[in-house]
């Protein structure tokens, strides 16, 4: 890894709590949810008022009756995912202000992309438990989300998916479809694109992927921007070039890789990947001169000793100049999301 730029983490601090009744956005009062997690972010283009905005997509979300620690119970106004938007420019001064949600009749944030409530295959003895959003991207006014279908939660960062796929919305996130041609099936539990992270260059949309759970390496695929929802059109990096065969995909980031987020940092002039290192109980940062790697050794952004039960780690797509990295952290116990700022250097 001699030609991988090693970005150093100088410091990390918690700027504000984004979600929950005591968070800066008062999400229970304004959007009908007390507890949630994840918070993958992407540039969604201008909103109805003409202002540029990002979308912030949260995972399993609970309202009145939330259990007070971690996810659940299911009867606590459970939604598998909810979507909010923000136009905040000064994160140091204002925090991440959530200004609007895709709303349901009667008020509150709506469930966005639905899970299946039916058995999916004759050999599958239980329905899809939940549908988790992993990443999003907007291309030519169409919003795309990479999601994973959870069949069963395990312990210690392990779970089993039925499949992953692409959801698309052409009406500014009000309604979503899950096309059959946008799926990565996972019949044996080893498909390499069950957890995903989008990023892009002018020529391609890139998708980093891992197997279900938090212990495998990350792989890389690319596709023409206008073909994001067509899995058959993806090419997979095989370590030397690009192949149309998923089976040829080679690891580009060494495991263990949990949830991941990738962006080009203009201030540092390199690619950054934020991932969860489950065995280390830390959110870590890797860097690379090229998107295909080689990627540097991990630097700890946040440790579980300081933030117990931490996971997630999603990069804010606008704040990529200077020497700072702004990102969202989840914690299991409070089951809420926090805005973090890390100072970086060489």
Q: What residues are paired with 205 via a beta bridge?
A: 200, 223
Query: What is the per-residue pLDDT for 126?
Result: 57
Tell the burial category of 196 from Cβ atoms under 10 Å away from its Cβ (0-12, 13-18, 19+).
buried
Query: What is the per-residue pLDDT for 212?
Result: 97
Query: From 2.115.10, 3.40.50, 3.10.590, 1.20.120, which CATH number describes the 8-345 domain?
Result: 2.115.10
Mean pLDDT, the chain, rounded, equals 95
Q: What residues are paired with 282 via a beta bridge?
A: 277, 303
Query: What is the per-residue pLDDT for 122?
Result: 55
Lowest mean pLDDT among 55-59, 121-125, 157-161, 337-341: 121-125
Q: Does the pLDDT at position 1 exceed 50?
A: no
Q: Give tens-digit pLDDT for 164-209.
A: 999 999 999 999 999 999 999 999 999 999 999 999 999 999 999 9
Q: What is the mean pLDDT of residues 34-48?
A: 97
Backbone phi, psi, residue 112, to 5°: -90, -65
Give percent of the chain above pLDDT 70.
96
Query: What is the per-residue pLDDT for 141?
Result: 96
Query: What is the per-residue pLDDT for 8?
Result: 96
For residues 97 and 288, give the distance between their C-alpha atoms in angstroms, rounded to a whole number: 31
Lowest mean pLDDT among 117-131, 250-264, 288-302: 117-131
Query: What is the per-residue pLDDT for 114?
Result: 87
Query: What is the per-residue pLDDT for 123?
Result: 58
Backbone phi, psi, residue 247, to 5°: -65, -20
Q: Does the pLDDT at position 69 exceed 90?
A: yes
- Helix (H, G, I), strand (E, B), or coil: what is residue 19? coil
- Higher-confidence residue: 5 or 177? 177
Q: Does the pLDDT at position 119 exceed 70?
A: no
Domain boundaries, the chain: 8-345
Q: Does the pLDDT at position 158 exceed 80?
A: yes
At residue 3 the predicted structure's pLDDT band, cuts being 50, 70 and 90, is: confident
Residues 210 and 200 sit within 8 Å (Cβ to Cβ): no
Give percent of the chain above pLDDT 90.
92
Using CA atoms, how far residue 256 sits from 146, 213, 253, in Å, is 20, 9, 9
Q: What is the mean pLDDT of residues 68-91?
A: 97
Q: What is the mean pLDDT of residues 314-325?
A: 95
Q: What is the mean pLDDT of residues 14-43?
A: 98
- Higher-confidence residue: 5 or 240? 240
């Amino acid at each position: 890894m001699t030609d991988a730029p090693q970005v150093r983490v100088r410091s990390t601090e918690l700027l504000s709590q984004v979600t929950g009744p005591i968070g800066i956005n008062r999400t229970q009062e304004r959007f009908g949810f007390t507890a949630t997690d994840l918070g993958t972010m992407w540039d969604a283009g201008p909103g109805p008022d003409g202002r540029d905005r990002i979308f912030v997509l949260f995972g399993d979300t609970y309202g009145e009756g939330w259990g007070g620690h971690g996810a659940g119970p299911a009867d606590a106004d459970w939604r598998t995912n909810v979507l909010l938007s923000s136009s905040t420019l000064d994160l140091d001064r204002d925090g991440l202000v959530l200004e609007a949600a895709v709303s349901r009749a009667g008020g509150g944030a709506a469930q966005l992309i639905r899970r299946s409530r039916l058995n999916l295959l004759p050999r599958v003895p239980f329905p899809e438990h939940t549908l988790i959003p992993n990443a999003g991207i907007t291309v030519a006014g169409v919003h795309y989300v990479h999601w994973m279908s959870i069949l069963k939660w395990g312990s210690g960062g392990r779970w089993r998916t039925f499949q992953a796929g692409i959801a698309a919305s052409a009406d500014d996130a009000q309604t979503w479809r899950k096309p059959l041609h946008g799926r990565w099936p996972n019949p044996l539990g080893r498909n390499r694109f069950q957890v995903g992270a989008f990023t892009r260059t002018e020529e391609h949309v890139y998708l980093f992927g891992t197997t279900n759970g938090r212990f495998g390496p990350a792989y890389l695929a690319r596709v023409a921007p206008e073909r994001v929802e067509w899995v058959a059109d993806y090419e997979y990096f095989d370590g030397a070039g690009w192949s149309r065969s998923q089976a040829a995909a080679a690891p580009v980031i060494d495991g263990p890789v949990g949830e991941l987020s990738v962006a080009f940092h203009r201030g540092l002039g390199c690619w950054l990947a934020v991932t969860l290192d489950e065995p280390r109980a830390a959110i870590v940062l890797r860097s690379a001169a090229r998107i295909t790697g080689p990627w540097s050794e991990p630097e700890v952004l946040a440790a579980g000793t300081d933030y117990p039960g931490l996971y997630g780690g999603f990069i804010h797509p606008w704040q990529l100049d200077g020497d700072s990295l702004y990102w969202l952290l989840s914690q299991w116990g409070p089951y809420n999301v926090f805005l973090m700022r890390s100072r970086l250097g060489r």
